[in-house]
Chains A and B, each alone.
Chain A
Amino acid sequence: MAAAAKAGVPVAEVMHVLSPEDGLGHGFIMRFVEGETLGGRIVKSDHLRAARQTLAFECGETLARLHRIPAGDFPTLARATPAELVERTRIVYARTTIRRPVFDLAFRWLTDNAPPVPAEPKLVHGDFRNGNLMIGPDGLRAVLDWELAHVGDPMEDLGWICVNSWRFGRIDLPVGGFGTLDDLLAGYELISGSRLDRSAVHWWEVYGTIRWGAICAASVEAFRGEDATMERAMIARRTSETEIDLLRLIAS
């Protein structure tokens, strides 16, 4: 996160990393940042209307800055190729209790259309989406939840923020329910200086959709096991949302 801040990515500043003498376990203390993180409010609130106009562009700029950080600085972070990520998600699905033909079709599509292994893997946030962004009336204030950061294809972050599950009802605004894909790509291209391949972003949106779908589907076992809550049960019954999204993405 310190490296991200140095690269110009807005983050909550790390003030103190806990040591054993603190007696508080592992962790760190961050500076307080005020803003909205609830996705449903970010796409609707009147006081964020002006921020929404430029937010997708700002997200593009921010991701381009993040992806400039040399991945070699993070030798301990996990590395994965697109095919390995697909296989990992396919295994999550294979362990669930029922077959979902839409998922099998989508996994096949992902395999048949996989992008090449990136020549230069980058630091990827891994969970850059509406819900993990703190927004104020002036725009993006902090990027949160860095625990899924890894080294891989930077287009993963661009596809993930377009997944319909975090558009909070605004299916017409692909970027987090608040902006257009053109704006996201324009912001990214301004900072990176290179043209993006839209079909790569699309592939990663399909991957992101099934990644979330497999998590939903696997909630059945969690509900029957260690997390027997109503919330968990109802997340399992959202799997079909990702199935209609997959069909829209690959079969229309």
Chain B
Amino acid sequence: MQDQPGPDELLGSVIDFLRETVVPEAKPRTAFQARVAASALELVWRQMEFGAAGEAVEKQRLIGLLDANGSLEDLNKQLADALASGTLGLATPGLVEHLRATTLEKLAVDQPNYSGYRAALPGEAEPRKEG
């Protein structure tokens, strides 16, 4: 399907409507919900943009780590079971790197402004001190 405007443009238009029209004109409770709605749509936009690429590299890493194949859901279940039983753990080569990369990929979609995400990004400067 290649009709235009595309989904990203339509989402952007709805987000602008919520922020620029609904929030200033609505009663406080509705304005709050409109802000939440705009945030939810931005999350959807980021998932459309980065989600598939993130899942592809996550799956490649899982295949290497577990020496097994399957769906992303299956592989994550296998890893979770191995971590719960202690078969794999913090000492497993590549394990922490995989978990950190996967979590950063999730946060790039879910909550890119979260302090714990910003602090964990490679090359992030020291957090500011209280002034």
Q: Interface on A for B, CB 8 Å cutoff? A: 52, 98-105, 107-109, 164, 167, 169-173, 230-231, 233-234, 237-241, 243-245, 247-248, 250-251
Contacts and interface: CB of A to CB of B under 8 A. Distances in A.
B115 A164 contact: yes
Contacts of B76: 98-101
B99 A102 contact: yes
For the complex, would chain A's binding face be called helix, strand, loop or mixed by DSSP majority? helix
Nearest to A238: B111
B130 A164 contact: no
Counting from the closest, the 5 A-B pairs by CB-CB distance are A172-B127, A99-B80, A240-B106, A171-B115, A104-B83
Interface of B: 33, 36-37, 39-40, 43, 73, 76-77, 79-81, 83-84, 86, 89-90, 96, 99-100, 102-104, 106-107, 110-111, 114-117, 119-120, 127-130
Contacts of B79: 99, 101, 104
The SS class assigned to the B binding surface is helix
B39 A234 contact: yes
A89 to B, nearest CB: 14
B106 A243 contact: yes
Contact of A240 (B39, B77, B103): B103
A251 B92 CA distance: 12
A46 B90 CA distance: 43
B110 to A, nearest CB: 5
Contacts of A243: 99, 103, 106
A108 B114 CA distance: 26
Contact of A233 (B40, B99, B107): B40
B114 A241 contact: yes
Contacts of B116: 164, 171, 241, 244-245, 248
Contacts of B84: 104, 107-108
B37 A230 contact: yes
Nearest to B127: A172
A52 B131 CA distance: 11
B96 A234 contact: no
B103 A102 contact: yes
Contacts of A231: 33, 36
B80 A101 contact: yes
